[in-house]
Structure 1
């Protein structure tokens, strides 16, 4: 190892990345045809301070003209489906939908919701699972057909183990403060903190009622623009980006500083902000610091991007989820062409879909994934499973013209019941 040591005074900020690209799970694949496939996250929400801060950043980076908004009135925002018992069921998105009898639920969801405030507070004070919470307050059917698939779609996880307190803190606080999920959420909404002064893009998002947004060349444009800004000549005296150098060790010295060991150098820093997943962070910390993190698990998700010639979808909407009782391996299918038609290849009608596979059920259905290894036979199996799911769920019988398979190993952490004790809140 080289003896080069970079002191914190040399740069105000040093960004260290193990791979050769920035952006992490954000990865937009731009095909020669002009189509854009998102291999990871595909959209951001404008809601709350976090959403406003993201739009502020977009404006600061000069990307405002590239924003692709999805309005709340659009089918991609209004229509979400659940695949159950061999057919698609529209999830309630209006008061009329709450009154619907039959179909997905045996009784109107509104009736169940109106009874919820009168359910006695649970005996568990500190935490409980999302499934247990919804089953206790709204019944087993709601837990099975709504909580289960929603947790698969959001966390790629099992609602029977995921922590209410850590995964859905607003719901946890609502019940803790008022004894009712619905009443607490209504009161919290009415007392929402005033947002900080916002940029023009945020005002536009509110005025036009955006549900979500992306960028013309995909979400990878965001870290790419950040990289250009950090690497600009006027920023170079203050910041530096180190690519392709994984952190090998992180040690805290007695004088309040941190020593970061890289393959060819060391960095002495006053402050360290880690974006590493728990399993990676444990490998570079002292065992005494790493011990609490070892219980935090992560799940693997396979993302299969598909392109079909023509308009092949039987419905319009954001996509559909699949309960684990229906199919363990298939988490859901996203109708990318409905949300962001600008990402379709120009000049011809096509349909882009993304099939999400695995999550907490990946090893059970598809087997274990070797660390850092690419398994082409598994990728072919995942591709076949994705195409088969599109046939079963959507009735699309023609073969896809483009298929891209990505396996994201340990990409989503799982905050199981009691997780708050690990992180201290």
Structure 2
């Protein structure tokens, strides 16, 4: 009997992780991974300029805490990347000092209660009063989703919602807090209200666990393999990789290409995913005309790309509901004497556009030379993030990539001058335009994912994973791919028409 064939669509971190875990846990299964480009790792991209300066065009640091952190650390250890890990202690300035641009000035956020009471910057005006009043705010009678802004404005005030949470939405989602779902982007806040009647009370009591029993068990299993090392790493604020974060997808690629049961095929954009003449399998057609039959398909593609390759008769709902934003990422490197900002934190974010930021469209600037606790010998590096939900403010009607990149560089330098007082020209720079890079979980996302889960149960041969569904961070993507693979193997759903695993089972288990 021929072994089941599983095809994974998409070679981003989610697709690579799914293939990696399948290869490790089910060597008897034939695995095929199809990636549209010649690059693996999705938006993770590390580049060295003149073999001197490391620039990251996408993610650069990883959160090691929690279930996702434990699972990711386990993967790094097995790939022998632990020797390249750079960890930032929680007491390091880059972990403790966070900044927000406010009315043209950089405000350092309080790092504790004492700072909040006695050394509060202008951006924190009215915040302490809002915190004191929040436990007495009424709760809604029924659990309904709402925007992040509406939730925070209701429980605290509009100042907190626009300036603090608006900046946080920029940093995590490059998004608009007035559009994003509180239940799907910062579910801990909504869960605290539901359980304790107050965000403040909930946080003071340790919050609410949002992890499923399966997630907790898997994290505990990972921690038990290297307990001392896991404990040490999870106590860090963030971790990174010395050669750049791209070392992770490159290591996954090398691992997969060494496995006899894995075919990793690049430059294979998929144009059609349909049921084959045999109802127990799927037929995949690529742009080159190649056809691949598969007993099971795992889509790690963005949901709108998955929608575009399904037949018109497909009954899968909501795949195109959430928009995805474009972000311009500008890397800058200066000679040390040219960029002495006197700031030693992780970077600064900008508040919601309704506050009138001094550099419209700039979401924030990361202090790369300090964010990982490693100072470059003679250079200082920064990364400006521009666009996202504020794309039109930054780029208007510009369409050509070269025009956008030129404008992005100008805006990045304007932000460096206006906010940080750096007027010198950078010694090295590069600009990347990341099209459709971050999904925006709009209000009602959780309910839509429940409905998608129920619809996928009728397809039998298709599961989904990736940032479109349950989390946008690298640890989230790795975790959900591993959970999906474990469920597929545990339930025996590969090639078995009586068992179904969609990858969205968690949507049916809610802290509410």
Tell me if TM exceeds 0.5: yes
Question: What pairs up with 1:112-131 in 2 under 5 angstroms?
Answer: 112-122=130-140, 125-131=143-149
Say whether residues 1:309 and 2:335 are aligned partners. yes
- Residues 2-44 of structure 1 deviation map (CA, whole Å, 9 limit, x = unaligned): xxxx982896211111010111000001223332110000010
Q: Which residue of 1 is the match for residue 293 of structure 2?
A: 268
Maintained 8 Å contact 1:112/1:138: yes
* Between 216-225 and 164-173, the greater mean CA deviation after superposition: 164-173
Residues 387/68 of structure 1: CA separation in 2 closer, same or farther (3 Å cut)? same
Offset, 1:161: 0.8
SS, match of residue 331 in structure 1: strand
Question: What pairs up with 1:201-216 in 2 under 5 angstroms?
Answer: 203-204=228-229, 206-207=231-232, 209-216=235-242
Offset, 1:364: 4.2
- Gaps of at least 5 residues in structure 2 are 7-27, 451-506, 508-512
Residues 53/187 of structure 1: CA separation in 2 closer, same or farther (3 Å cut)? same
Looking at structure 2, the residues matched to 244 and 304 of structure 1 have their Cα atoms a distance apart, in angstroms, of 27
Maintained 8 Å contact 1:171/1:181: yes
SS, match of residue 412 in structure 1: strand
Aligned with 1:105 (options 111, 124, 129): 124
Say whether residues 1:332 and 2:364 are aligned partners. yes
Looking at structure 2, the residues matched to 39 and 46 of structure 1 have their Cα atoms a distance apart, in angstroms, of 21
* Between 181-190 and 137-146, the greater mean CA deviation after superposition: 181-190
Looking at structure 2, the residues matched to 123 and 223 of structure 1 have their Cα atoms a distance apart, in angstroms, of 46
Looking at structure 2, the residues matched to 406 and 54 of structure 1 have their Cα atoms a distance apart, in angstroms, of 27
Offset, 1:252: 2.9
* Between 306-315 and 81-90, the greater mean CA deviation after superposition: 306-315
Offset, 1:187: 4.0
Aligned with 1:376 (options 392, 397, 402): 402
Looking at structure 2, the residues matched to 80 and 322 of structure 1 have their Cα atoms a distance apart, in angstroms, of 12
Q: Which residue of 2 is the match for residue 225 of structure 1?
A: 251
Q: Which residue of 1 is the match for residue 471 of structure 2?
A: none
Residues 315/393 of structure 1: CA separation in 2 closer, same or farther (3 Å cut)? same
Aligned with 1:60 (options 57, 72, 78): 78
Offset, 1:186: 4.2
Q: Which residue of 1 is the match for residue 302 of structure 2?
A: 277
- Residues 48-94 of structure 1 deviation map (CA, whole Å, 9 limit, x = unaligned): 11111111101100111100111111111110101111211111221
Say whether residues 1:422 and 2:448 are aligned partners. yes
Question: What pairs up with 1:89-100 in 2 under 5 angstroms?
Answer: 89-100=107-118
Q: Which residue of 1 is the match for residue 5 of structure 2?
A: 8
Maintained 8 Å contact 2:4/2:295: no
Question: What pairs up with 1:136-155 in 2 under 5 angstroms?
Answer: 136-155=154-173
Question: What pairs up with 1:284-295 in 2 under 5 angstroms?
Answer: 284-287=309-312, 288-289=314-315, 291-295=317-321
* Between 146-155 and 357-366, the greater mean CA deviation after superposition: 357-366
Looking at structure 1, the residues matched to 181 and 236 of structure 2 have their Cα atoms a distance apart, in angstroms, of 29
Residues 36/178 of structure 1: CA separation in 2 closer, same or farther (3 Å cut)? same
RMSD, aligned CA = 2.3
Looking at structure 2, the residues matched to 298 and 270 of structure 1 have their Cα atoms a distance apart, in angstroms, of 30
Q: Which residue of 2 is the match for residue 398 of structure 1?
A: 424
- Residues 117-161 of structure 1 deviation map (CA, whole Å, 9 limit, x = unaligned): 211003562200000000000111111111111101111110001
Offset, 1:369: 6.8
Maintained 8 Å contact 2:97/2:109: yes
Looking at structure 2, the residues matched to 32 and 341 of structure 1 have their Cα atoms a distance apart, in angstroms, of 22
Residues 76/102 of structure 1: CA separation in 2 closer, same or farther (3 Å cut)? closer
Looking at structure 1, the residues matched to 33 and 398 of structure 2 have their Cα atoms a distance apart, in angstroms, of 29
- Gaps of at least 5 residues in structure 1 are 1-5
The number of equivalent residue pairs is: 410
Maintained 8 Å contact 1:71/1:77: yes
Offset, 1:115: 2.2
Looking at structure 1, the residues matched to 160 and 440 of structure 2 have their Cα atoms a distance apart, in angstroms, of 22
Question: What pairs up with 1:9-88 in 2 under 5 angstroms?
Answer: 12-88=30-106
Judging by fraction of residues, say which structure has more helix.
2
Say whether residues 1:256 and 2:277 are aligned partners. no
Looking at structure 1, the residues matched to 350 and 143 of structure 2 have their Cα atoms a distance apart, in angstroms, of 31
Residues 363/291 of structure 1: CA separation in 2 closer, same or farther (3 Å cut)? farther
* Between 17-26 and 168-177, the greater mean CA deviation after superposition: 168-177
Q: Which residue of 1 is the match for residue 269 of structure 2?
A: 246
SS, match of residue 296 in structure 2: coil
Looking at structure 2, the residues matched to 143 and 185 of structure 1 have their Cα atoms a distance apart, in angstroms, of 18
Offset, 1:178: 2.3
- Residues 295-352 of structure 1 deviation map (CA, whole Å, 9 limit, x = unaligned): 21100000000000015222110000111223330000000000235483xxx42110
* Between 78-87 and 112-121, the greater mean CA deviation after superposition: 112-121
Q: Which residue of 2 is the match for residue 3 of structure 1?
A: none
Looking at structure 2, the residues matched to 123 and 50 of structure 1 have their Cα atoms a distance apart, in angstroms, of 33
TM-score by length of 2: 0.75
Say whether residues 1:349 and 2:346 are aligned partners. no
